């Protein structure tokens, strides 16, 4: 059988197409096409929730071939547990959880910090409680979320009123369970942060016994892992820029910020008015002073035997910070 030139060319073209396709299939994903990345963000009820609802981070990252996955948590410690097992890449947390996480070997990195927000955490008691001072908490049942910023707040607050950390009967409960126990009268006091704090004040007339002013700074932190920063610092910088933009907007537009948070979080506007109006706003880079603040928390927790060993917070400083 005679093979025509046209048939020969057709066969060669077909073989070439098959070979190229097979080669592409054998290559690692991203070699023969644009590399795709997923950015997994853990968040609590707050300004990351606004960032999620606006979609502005996605608009900046999609052209870079990056998809964003949002995972909500009730508090900081579960976020850091998720970081430790590789389930999230970035998140927001209070002062204390990173200390416990670092002591447990988590590969965390402090990536950004908020300004101080001491009015946004407090010890509260039921409206009819006879307790009128922190000193009267001796021997009482006090609930808080284990490993959270309020645990450090309480550890520093009690000595200012003549009590030691062991003078109160601590019950470790997550916010939803603590709220239920508080309403039932199963606990005498609750140490909690906004917006849970504001919700308790507005909805069940909880009374503030003491907030963190003059006691601790109550900063928030944005974190990542050492491995993720090493490979994706460009994404992290963009995320922090977007968070900074949201905080700057909230500082200048508190009423609209309360509106937006009320919609995003599904809470009453009066609750968010209270929380937003007493908040501090702004994101700052991690510096030596902030590392020193965190080191004081770590040393306090070690002395109270809340962590098993001394840690150096500087080990969790971002790669671009020279300590």
Rounded to an integer, what distance in angstroms lies between the CA atom of residue 118 and that of residue 137? 20
What mean pLDDT do residues 14-19 have? 40
The 10s digit of each residue's pLDDT in 290-312 is 999 999 999 999 999 999 999 99
Domain boundary among 211, 243, 270: 211
Domain carrying residue 174 = 118-211
Q: What is the pLDDT of residue 154?
A: 97
The 10s digit of each residue's pLDDT in 146-161 is 988 999 999 999 999 9
Rounded to an integer, what distance in angstroms lies between the CA atom of residue 132 and that of residue 224? 41
CATH number of the domain encompassing residue 43: 3.40.190.10
30 part of a folded domain: no
Q: What is the pLDDT of residue 100?
A: 93
| Same domain (yes/no): 228, 206 | no
What mean pLDDT do residues 39-62 have? 92
Rounded to an integer, what distance in angstroms lies between the CA atom of residue 80 and that of residue 314? 18
What is the domain count for the chain?
2
| Same domain (yes/no): 98, 225 | yes
CB 281 within 8 A of CB 115: yes
The 10s digit of each residue's pLDDT in 85-95 is 999 999 999 89
| Same domain (yes/no): 49, 170 | no
Q: What is the pLDDT of residue 109?
A: 96
Judged against a pLDDT cut of 50, whether residue 11 lies above it is answered with: no
91 part of a folded domain: yes
Give the CA distances from residue 162 to residues 130, 134, 159, 264, in Å, rounded to whole numbers and listed in that order: 19, 9, 5, 42
Buried/exposed code over 275-293 (b: 16+ C-beta within 10 A; e: otherwise):
bbeebbbebeebeeebbeb
19 part of a folded domain: no
The 10s digit of each residue's pLDDT in 104-141 is 999 999 999 999 999 999 999 999 999 999 999 999 99
Look at phi and psi of residue 128 and say left if phi exceeds 0, alpha if psi is from -120 to 50, else beta. Answer: alpha
| Same domain (yes/no): 231, 312 | yes
Q: What is the pLDDT of residue 323?
A: 53
Look at phi and psi of residue 224 and say left if phi exceeds 0, alpha if psi is from -120 to 50, else beta. Answer: beta
Question: 157 is written with which tokens?
Answer: 């607050």
| Same domain (yes/no): 293, 227 | yes
The 10s digit of each residue's pLDDT in 259-292 is 999 998 899 999 999 999 999 999 999 999 999 9
The 10s digit of each residue's pLDDT in 53-102 is 999 999 999 999 999 999 999 888 899 999 999 999 999 998 999 999 99
Closest listed residue to residue 307, CA positions, set 294, 317, 318, 319: 294
What mean pLDDT do residues 24-34 have? 38
Q: What is the pLDDT of residue 264?
A: 85
Domain boundary among 211, 245, 262: 211
108 part of a folded domain: yes
Residues near 313 by Cβ (< 8 Å), separated by ≥ 6? 99, 102, 110, 291, 294, 295, 298
Rounded to an integer, what distance in angstroms lies between the CA atom of residue 317 and that of residue 127? 43
Rounded percentage of the chain residues whose pLDDT exceeds 90: 79
Q: How many residues does the chain have?
A: 323
Domain boundary among 211, 231, 261: 211
């Amino acid at each position: 059988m005679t093979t025509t030139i046209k048939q020969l060319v057709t066969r060669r073209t077909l073989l070439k197409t098959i070979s190229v396709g097979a080669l592409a299939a054998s290559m690692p994903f991203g070699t023969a096409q644009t590399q795709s990345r997923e950015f997994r963000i853990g968040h609590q009820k707050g300004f990351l929730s606004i960032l999620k609802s606006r979609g502005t981070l996605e608009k900046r990252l999609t052209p870079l071939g990056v998809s964003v996955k949002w995972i909500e948590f009730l508090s900081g410690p579960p976020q850091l547990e998720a970081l430790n097992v590789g389930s999230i890449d970035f998140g927001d947390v209070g002062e204390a959880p990173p200390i416990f996480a670092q002591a447990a070997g988590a590969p965390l990195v402090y990536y950004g910090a908020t300004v101080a927000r001491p009015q946004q955490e407090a010890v509260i008691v039921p409206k009819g409680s006879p307790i009128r001072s922190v000193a009267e908490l001796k021997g009482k049942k006090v609930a808080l979320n284990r490993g959270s910023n309020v645990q450090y707040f309480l550890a520093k607050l009690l000595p200012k009123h003549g009590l030691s950390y062991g003078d109160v009967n601590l019950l470790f409960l997550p916010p939803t369970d603590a709220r239920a126990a508080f309403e039932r009268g199963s606990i005498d006091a609750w140490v909690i942060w906004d917006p849970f704090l504001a919700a308790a004040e507005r909805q069940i007339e909880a009374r503030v016994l003491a907030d963190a002013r003059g006691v601790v700074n109550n900063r928030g932190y944005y974190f990542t892992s050492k491995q993720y920063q090493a490979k994706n610092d460009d994404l992290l910088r963009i995320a922090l820029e977007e968070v900074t933009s949201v905080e700057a907007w909230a500082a200048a537009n508190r009423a609209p910020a309360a509106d937006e948070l009320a919609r995003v979080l599904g809470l009453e506007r009066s609750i968010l008015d209270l929380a937003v109006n007493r908040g501090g706003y702004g994101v700052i880079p991690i510096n030596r002073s902030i590392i020193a603040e965190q080191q004081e928390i770590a040393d306090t927790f070690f002395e109270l035997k809340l962590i098993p060993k001394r840690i150096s917070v500087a080990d969790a400083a971002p790669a671009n910070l020279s300590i």
